[in-house]
A and B are shown apart, each in its own frame.
Chain A
Amino acid sequence: DTAVSQTPKYLVTQMGNDKSIKCEQNLGHDTMYWYKQDSKKFLKIMFSYNNKELIINETVPNRFSPKSPDKAHLNLHINSLELGDSAVYFCASSQAGAPRTGELFFGEGSRLTVL
C-alpha cells in the first residue's frame, strides 16, 4: 500500500507536447510538493501546496502548472515540453510545518525524457 504514488513512472515524449504527472498520497498529510532532480542530481523544490493552497512557487517557467483537486492529490501539468525539462520529478507529502513536525515522504519519481 504505497504512501505516495506517482504515475506514470516513465514518460518519453516529443518536444512541444503537453504532459501530466499525477501524484496521490494516502497519509492524510496537509502539504504536498513537487521536486525536480535534473542531470546535475540536485533535488530542487518546484511547488508546495498546503490544503490545496499554493504556498511555495519557486522560479519555475509558467509552462509548469500544478493542480491540487484535493489535499490528497497534487498533479503536475507541463505545456510545450522542452529538452531541458528532461528530469526525474518527485512528489512528496508531509504534515504542515515539516520538516520540524515530521519528515517528507517521497514518491518513487517519474522520469520524463523529452526527445
Chain B
Amino acid sequence: DQQVKQNSPSLSVQEGRISILNCDYTNSMFDYFLWYKKYPAEGPTFLISISSIKDKNEDGRFTVFLNKSAKHLSLHIVPSQPGDSAVYFCAASGQAGTALIFGKGTTLSVSS
C-alpha cells in the first residue's frame, strides 16, 4: 500500500535545463510534504518542504509545488547542475506523532 508514489524511477537532464520530479500521494490526511536528497553511501538530507496551506515554496534553485486537489506535488530544479545528480525522495506527514512516509525515490542524472 504505497501512500506516497514516485512513478518515475529515473530522470536525465542536461546541465542548465529544468528538472521536474513528481510525486503523488493517496492519503488525504497528509498535510506536510518534504523532499530529501540522497547521494550514494550517504543518508538522505533535507531539501525543501511545503505545508498544505501553501501551493508553492521556493528556496533558491528549488521550488516545490503542491496541488491538493490532485494529491500531487512536484520539485522543480532550475537551472540543474551536475552536483544535483542524486536520488530524490518525496515524503509526507499527517497528524503530529506520525512518521514521515517516503516514496521510492527518483534518480536524477544531470549531464554537463
B49 at the interface (CB under 8 A from A): yes
Segment among B18-26, B39-47, B63-71, B77-85 that sits at the interface with chain A: B39-47
CA gap between A41 and B7 in the complex, in Å: 13
Are A100 and B99 touching (Cβ within 8 A)? no
Are B43 and A56 touching (Cβ within 8 A)? no
Interface residues of A in 59-115 (CB under 8 A from B): 90, 92, 97, 99-100, 103-109
Chain A positions within 8 Å of B62 at CB level: none
For chain B, which range describes its interface: under 10, 10 to 19, 20 to 34, or 35 or more residues? 20 to 34
Are B104 and A55 touching (Cβ within 8 A)? no
Are A103 and B34 touching (Cβ within 8 A)? yes
* A3-23 contact mask (Cβ, 8 Å, vs B): 1 or 0: 010000000000000000000
Partner of B43, one of A97, A100, A107: A107
Are B100 and A55 touching (Cβ within 8 A)? no
Chain A positions within 8 Å of B102 at CB level: 35, 42-44
Are A4 and B32 touching (Cβ within 8 A)? no
Most chain A beta carbons < 10 A, residue from B36, B43, B103 = B43
With contacts A41-B104, A42-B102, A99-B49 known, is A4 near B43, CB below 8 A? Answer: yes
With contacts A41-B104, A41-B105, A103-B34 known, is A90 near B99, CB below 8 A? Answer: no
Tell me the B residues contacting A by CB distance below 8 Å.
Answer: 2, 32, 34, 36, 41-46, 49, 51, 89, 91, 93, 96-105
Tell me the A residues contacting B by CB distance below 8 Å.
Answer: 4, 33, 35, 40-45, 48, 55-56, 58, 90, 92, 97, 99-100, 103-109
List 3 tightest A-B contacts by C-beta distance, closest first.
A106-B43, A103-B46, A45-B99
